[in-house]
Structure 1
Amino acid sequence: MEKKGKLRKILYIAAGCLAAIVLVYLGIAFYFRSHYLFNTEINGHDVSGKTVQQAEQLLKDDVAQFELELKEIGGNSESIAGADIGLKYESSANLEEILSGQKVILWPGAFFKDNADEVKIEVSYDVDMLTEKINSLQAVTGEQTSAVSAYPKFDGEQYVIEPEQYGTAVQRDILEERIASAFENLQDSLDLEAEKCYAEPPYTSGSAEVQAACDQMNQYCKAKIVYPMTEEVVVDASVISGWLTVDDKMQVTISEDAVRKWLEEFGDKYDTMGTTRTFTTPAGREATVNGGTYGWSINEIAEYDVIVDAIKNGKTLEREPEYYIGGTAATHAMPDWGNTYVDVDLSAQHMWYVVDGSIALETDVVTGQPIPERITPEGTYSILEKGRNQVLTGATDPATGEPSYRTPVSYWMRVTWSGIGLHDATWQPAFGGTLNQTPGIGSHGCINMPLDQAAALYDMLEVGTPVVIHY
């Protein structure tokens, strides 16, 4: 009996303890019906054992203390405090749902499991205050440098893509939108560059349009034109690259102005027609000659078309440039008439016919009387035509309506289309000296020669032979 009593007592005690434990367990479970379980985190706050109201207060405190950091290009930063724009807490969703969704009867399991949640907090702010604050930002008021697109750049050998550059000019509408969104989502940091708040370059290094322009310009630079002047003049990538441009739409253009300017400089250097030449006369005297119609004269208009066609088609050419009719000479070296030519010395009243550097004929002559209407024109010319038994006619005399003279000659070698030439003059009493200065003896501008010398020269001389007339 005594043993049974003790056993019963033990059972009662055990039952009481179990009941107490159950009550405590259930009590804690009941507690967590209005409080968050252990290891519960909401929006980064530990709300273990807190009520919805207490958790909400933490979120309200976050809003009250909220500050947005703006990370700007170049490592600069600014901030806008919520208080500066009247930021207010309005509500937060899901706090009650998180609480009601807890498995409180299994509350001990919360010790071994982290439970982190994020809730959307509804806020309000003064739009005008935010606009005013944005207006005062250094990112807005500071210097606004524009973005620069990537573009093809010549590196000395070929075109490569020069990377784009980002400026500091903000896109105001995007900036305002991103800042407003950051406040509405309580996002405490905003990278303006990452969020594309700055004006972006239209084209980047990866843009297909930039690569296509680069490829086209390199294709153009494959062209090569070699002009064999006194020295080789080479038009290759180093020159062509200075003629190529690319616009803001990545359209490649060959600059007409640049090509024509180069051709003008090319002509200025190698054109000799009408220029002053310094040379040594057959008599060994240093002399200069100005003007005339003989010499090089590059047809820059025609050569432009050749150059542009070669560039567009990547051609390699070796060529003499296009010349105007008559705009060629014996050599590019100076004097450009070479070593076969007629030399007329107006000072000495003497002429030479030089063939391959040696004097083949020389004679005294009579040239134009030194008055404006009769003077023999200085310059470098060429024999334009030859003719036997010609009648030379002067200008029409207004008083008579007849030519001022008609003079028959046996050997005519034209130098200018205006009527100057070499010919025999059987009427002259003599040649050389200063006879040309005597009225009635000085010619009307032609070079008068003895008959036998004119005949000999006529037989030797070819059309196109240079004629140098100088003092």
Structure 2
Amino acid sequence: MPFKSEPTAYKPAHFAPGNDTPKPRRKHNVPLIIAIVIVALAAVAYVAGAIVFSNIYYPGTVIAGTDVSLCTASDAAERLRTASPAYTFEVTGEDFAWSYAPETIDDLIDVEAVAQGELAKNEVFIWPARLISALLSPKSEQDAIDTAATPDFSRFSSSFDEAAFEEELGAAVDAYNESRSGTFTPTGAYDAEAGAFTPEHARACKKLDRDEVIAFAKAHLAALSSTASLDELGEEAYLPLEGGVSDEQIESACDAMNELAGADLSLKMGGAEVARVDGALIAQWIVLDENYAPSIDEEAVAAWVEKLADSLDTVGTERTYTRPDGKEITVSGGTFGWKVDREALAKLVSSALADKQTGEADVPCSQTGDVFTAPGERDWGA
């Protein structure tokens, strides 16, 4: 039989002779193409965002208490002019409050210039980060307070009456200072609620520093804050106490005065309280020397004893009462009534101070009536 060769199997051209493994097809680099497209789109989005936020504010932007989110500068200026409620500004502190409200926002600031100035702060080249930050934490009053550290007084309009602002705020500070002594005194250091002399109460006698407060308020006003809290200034808001007394001297004096004022004695007469020797009264008797060391002014104590005795003595005084028939009668003279033993009362008070006595004690009298009543009333029995 003739020899028949086996048919040769078809092999694609890309198969190498003697190698039955097929060669891979050349594929396009899809991931690279996708990356290029993404980068191109991101670049377009970045440029578009930069253009957008060079013309509008970020979300949460507030100017003079008015929300101008996503507004253009011209729209923001219009919003500022028509804002309701209108812009108001308040200076606050411990027991101090003063407010200011311009008739129109144009009477305070150059509205267009401020609107453009705020827009210029957008930092458009980092707009993605600024946008995310604005969305997560909208602009707050703190932004204005931070700006007040380096105030831009050019924001004020030509119609802003700076002198009137300073005069009105200064007058409020002056009125506030009238209630404060500006000195370190025992009565000023005594805290009735605490029942003790405290450095905090002593420092509360300080007067506000007029110039410092005005400068601080103007800085916050230029930043268009709604409030300026004097707490931010701390002690810089106040003038030092007269005499240059130091904090250490105040604390030492308060400790010493608390030692002197340990008495709390109710003085009674005929069962009724007629006086109380306590810290509030003793504070009026304490004097400080040049080193702020306290002591009891014995002359002041003696004068108080005399005044109290005068108010309690009824011998020879006029007394008015109503007879059973309804007629009102006034009598005077005679030897009947109450008479305080002044020397004994002075000794009682001095001992109470020295011994820090508490509780009750009867006012020593050299003579008593039947009942003790208010001055001018009947002090004998029915």
TM-score range, shorter chain: 0.3 to 0.5
Higher relative contact order (CA 8 A, sep 6+): 2
TM-score (norm 1): 0.34
Bigger fraction of residues in strand: 1
TM-score (norm 2): 0.40
